[in-house]
Amino acid sequence: MTADSKQKIQLVLAVAIAAAALRTGWILYNRHAVTKTQPPQTQAAPALNPDYYVVPKKLYAYDLKSARQLTKQPVWVKEGYRYTYYPYNRARRRSDFTHQAGLLLPLEKIEVADVVLDASPGMKGQRQVMAVFSQDEKTYAFPIGVQSGGDYRIYADEILYIQDPKELYKHWPPDVWGAIEKHEVKPGMDELQADFAVGMGVPERSADPSMKTVNYPNGGKPLTITYRDGRAVNIKPGPSA
């Protein structure tokens, strides 16, 4: 190889190296510019709702004897204005199903005196499991299950808390509990808090998952509450039944 040929090859290599260096510098510059304009990718995740960590104890009753554990501590009604109670005759050990005494109230505290079997109106071969309690020196009972053919289906856990809800949800602020105790719903309260305050609600259909409207009978004082992202934003009188 001649000296002239070597010189030409060295010149071509030098040009190639210079071009590669320029291209690498341009790429690094562009990456740095993009990094500066992009927002930080390490944003903190939103905190989980503390309600998700609340797991109320359950009775898991499976017969009359296990259901009588309800007599060992106070109980609280989960959904007010939903469950009917009836006059109860202690001497005859019979409920008067022909006369409704009323509806259990939101978060009503009840001392269950006994759990008994009673006749099931119009249902031959089936009996009601009734929780007996006293109120204003009168005795009442409400159904918490059925017995048929020796088998029991106890749904007390669907109706009652066996722990004080105020202890279960003690992370709620005092103003929320104050509204609940007055059976009022304030803007910003969530649906569970509203249920505790005014009882059961009937939701309307909605095409927007972030919006929800619920109608509450509220013991004859109906309310309509609209929730946005799970929080009450509009509270107004509801339609009459």
Q: Is the domain of 28 the same as that of 85?
A: no
Q: What domain range is 226 assigned to?
A: 169-237
Asked if residues 141 and 86 have their Cβ atoms less than 8 Å apart, the reply is yes
Q: Check residue 123 and give its pLDDT.
A: 78
Q: Is the domain of 210 the same as that of 229?
A: yes
- 3-state secondary structure (DSSP) of residue 16: helix
Q: Is the domain of 116 the same as that of 149?
A: yes
Q: Is the domain of 184 the same as that of 226?
A: yes
* Pairing verdict, β 138-148 and 151-154: antiparallel
Q: Is the domain of 121 the same as that of 178?
A: no
Q: Is the domain of 155 the same as that of 122?
A: yes
Picking from 109, 129, 161, the residue at the C-terminal end of a domain is 161
Q: Does 43 map to a domain?
A: no
Q: Does 47 map to a domain?
A: no
Q: Kindly report the pTM of this predicted structure.
A: 0.79
What CATH number has the domain bearing residue 213?
3.30.1450
Q: Is the domain of 77 the same as that of 140?
A: yes
Q: Check residue 241 and give its pLDDT.
A: 63
Q: Is the domain of 152 the same as that of 178?
A: no
Instruction: Say how far residue 124 (Cα) sits from the centre of its chain.
Output: 37
Q: Is the domain of 73 the same as that of 157?
A: yes
Q: Is the domain of 75 the same as that of 99?
A: yes
Q: Is the domain of 84 the same as that of 127?
A: yes
Q: Does 45 map to a domain?
A: no
Q: Does 205 map to a domain?
A: yes
Alpha-carbon radius of gyration of the chain: 34
In the structure encoding, which two tokens stand for residue 216, read together? 């509450």
Residue among 146, 112, 150, 104 nearest 129 (CA): 146
Q: Is the domain of 157 the same as that of 173?
A: no
DSSP 190: B
Q: Check residue 121 and give its pLDDT.
A: 82
Contacts 24+ apart (CB under 8 A), 58-63: 58/157, 58/162, 59/154, 59/156, 59/157, 59/160, 59/162, 60/157, 61/145, 61/152, 61/154, 61/156, 61/157, 62/152, 62/154, 63/152, 63/154
- What are the mean pLDDT values of the chain's consecutive 10-residue runs (241 residues total)? 55 51 56 55 70 95 97 97 97 94 98 95 88 97 95 97 97 97 97 98 93 96 97 94 63
Q: What are phi and psi of 237, to 5 degrees?
A: -60, 140
Q: Does 50 map to a domain?
A: no
The tally of domains found in the chain comes to 3
Q: Does 103 map to a domain?
A: yes
Containing 34, the helix (H) or strand (E) segment is helix 3-37
Picking from 117, 145, 161, the residue at the C-terminal end of a domain is 161
